[in-house]
């Protein structure tokens, strides 16, 4: 179709007066092209250096080509089409609106048409000749607009691909603990507005599953990072993004950390994944969405599992040596005392047993731990250790007892 249009416009059959007037316009091409380029440049951001030259080249070439066509000269479209596709591509790649190019085309058309009308009045050009020029110009501008559309589409696709790469790099920078300056630079490259704080989520999916970025709000960054998928978004968008995650993967479990500064993302990522591990260990209740803030103490207590295991072998050795039933009731009593420091009757009321039962148990606890129970540092460590260990034992984790048996033979 474009080939047919080109052939028609190469022989427009313009009246002689219109042809004469077009020929007289050849000296106006450069001033008009400069005017259009400068007007557009004024509305562009500073980083678009070089765009003014591209606009000038495109407008200057189009006006010269239009005059050549009107004068019946052989004038292939190839170079002109390429210029306008480049303009559309550049505008899209810069993240500017398509209306910017339309403004330039309309401005050039308007300025050229003003010159034509003035000359038409000065030279008493007939209405028929002026209408013929108007029809030719309208058809020509429509052709240029199509080239801009093609270039703009390609530029948009390229920008999206570049943004995806930049955003993936941004996620990795944040997770690796990059400086705030580096994070800000990557956010700018990825066209992502960096908030003062971010919400980090760890999404537990089935093996091989992945949630596509386009399933989430544009403000959400996401990438599969085995064994879970990371999602980072502004805190204000966290609730909406969580719903989108649930819609995209109904069987997934989402662990949502409390908001943190961008430079603390590595810690938030650990905490969110730790919460998922504690769900799997049955320390935290299994829910589709885990609010890490509600389980901050558990996440903290289990932040160093190796240290917990070592301390359990050292501090809890007297309890680990007890029979399973004795260990259970003594631990239950000791933990309530550590948390409340109450009397035997008060502890008995909490546990639903007779006060004398508590006294029997307390006598055995003193036999096991002795003077250590009067050491504030030991008591503090014991409280934290039991709060971290008892939920594991209740959930069926026998590793502390198995390890004790292996060490003692």
pLDDT in tens, the chain (409 residues): 333 333 334 345 677 777 777 777 777 788 877 877 777 666 555 555 566 777 788 888 888 888 888 888 777 777 888 888 888 877 776 667 777 777 777 777 777 777 777 777 777 777 777 788 888 888 888 888 888 888 887 776 666 555 677 788 889 989 999 888 889 888 887 788 999 999 999 999 977 788 888 899 999 999 888 789 999 999 999 999 999 999 999 999 999 999 999 999 999 999 999 999 999 999 999 999 999 999 998 999 898 888 899 999 999 999 999 998 999 999 999 999 999 999 999 999 999 999 999 999 999 999 999 999 999 999 999 999 999 999 889 888 889 998 988 888 7
Radius of gyration of the chain measured on its C-alpha atoms: 37
Domain CATH for 263: 3.30.70
Question: Across-strand partners of 223?
Answer: 230
Q: What is the pLDDT of residue 181?
A: 87
Question: Both 115 and 20 in a single domain?
Answer: yes
Question: Both 279 and 137 in a single domain?
Answer: no
From residue 81, give the alpha-carbon distance in Å to each of 7, 147, 289.
15, 6, 53
Query: Which tokens is 111 given?
Result: 């300025």
Domain CATH for 85: 1.10.490
DSSP 8-class letter at 260? B
Entry pTM: 0.58
CB burial of residue 142 (10 Å; 0-12, 13-18, 19+): exposed
Cβ neighbours of 14 (radius 10 Å): 20
Question: Both 268 and 353 in a single domain?
Answer: no
Asked if residue 184 is part of any domain, the answer here is no
pLDDT in tens, 259-275: 999 999 999 999 999 99
Beta strands in 257-353 (DSSP E): 289-291
Question: Both 39 and 129 in a single domain?
Answer: yes
Asked if residue 167 is part of any domain, the answer here is no
Asked if residue 166 is part of any domain, the answer here is no
**C-beta of residue 244 within 8 angstroms of C-beta of residue 217:** yes
pLDDT in tens, 192-226: 899 999 999 999 997 778 888 889 999 999 988 87
Cβ neighbours of 147 (radius 10 Å): 22
Residue 281, domain extent: 195-301
Question: Both 228 and 96 in a single domain?
Answer: no
Per the listing, tokens 């933990």 go with: 335
- 402 membership: H or E segment, kind and range: helix 399-408
């Amino acid at each position: 179709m474009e080939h047919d249009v080109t052939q028609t416009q190469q022989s427009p059959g313009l009246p002689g007066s219109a042809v004469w007037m077009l020929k007289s316009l050849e000296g106006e091409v450069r001033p008009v092209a400069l005017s259009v380029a400068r007007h557009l440049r004024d509305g562009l951001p500073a980083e678009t250096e070089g765009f003014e030259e591209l606009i000038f080249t495109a407008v200057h070439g189009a006006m010269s080509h239009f005059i050549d066509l009107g004068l019946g000269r052989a004038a292939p479209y190839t170079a002109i089409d390429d210029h306008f596709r480049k303009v559309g591509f550049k505008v899209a790649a810069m993240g500017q609106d398509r209306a910017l190019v339309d403004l330039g085309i309309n401005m050039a058309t308007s300025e050229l048409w003003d010159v034509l009308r003035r000359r038409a009045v000065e030279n008493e050009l007939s209405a028929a000749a002026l209408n013929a020029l108007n029809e030719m110009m309208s058809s020509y501008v429509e052709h240029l607009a199509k080239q801009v559309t093609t270039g703009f589409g390609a530029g948009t696709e390229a920008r999206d691909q570049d943004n995806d790469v930049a955003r993936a790099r941004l996620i990795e920078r944040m997770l690796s603990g990059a400086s705030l300056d580096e994070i800000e630079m990557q956010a700018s490259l990825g066209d992502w507005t960096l908030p003062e704080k971010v919400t980090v989520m760890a999404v537990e999916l089935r093996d091989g599953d992945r949630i596509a970025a386009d399933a989430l709000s544009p403000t959400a960054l996401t990438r599969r990072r085995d064994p879970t998928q990371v999602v980072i978004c502004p805190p204000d968008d966290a609730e909406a993004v969580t719903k989108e995650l649930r819609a995209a993967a109904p069987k997934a479990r989402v662990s949502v950390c409390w908001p943190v500064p961008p430079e603390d993302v590595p810690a938030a990522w650990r905490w969110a994944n730790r919460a998922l591990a504690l769900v799997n260990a049955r320390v935290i209740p299994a829910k589709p969405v885990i609010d890490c803030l509600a389980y901050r103490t558990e996440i903290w207590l289990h932040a160093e599992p190796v240290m917990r295991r070592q301390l359990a072998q050292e501090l809890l050795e007297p309890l680990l040596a007890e029979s399973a039933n004795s260990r259970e009731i003594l631990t239950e009593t000791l933990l309530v005392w550590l948390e409340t420091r109450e009397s035997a009757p008060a502890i008995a009321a909490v546990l639903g047993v007779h006060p004398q039962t508590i006294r029997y148990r307390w006598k055995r606890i003193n036999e096991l731990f002795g003077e250590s129970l009067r050491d504030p540092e030991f008591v503090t460590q014991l409280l934290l250790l039991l709060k971290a260990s008892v939920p594991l034992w209740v959930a069926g984790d026998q590793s502390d007892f198995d390890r004790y048996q292996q060490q003692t033979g």
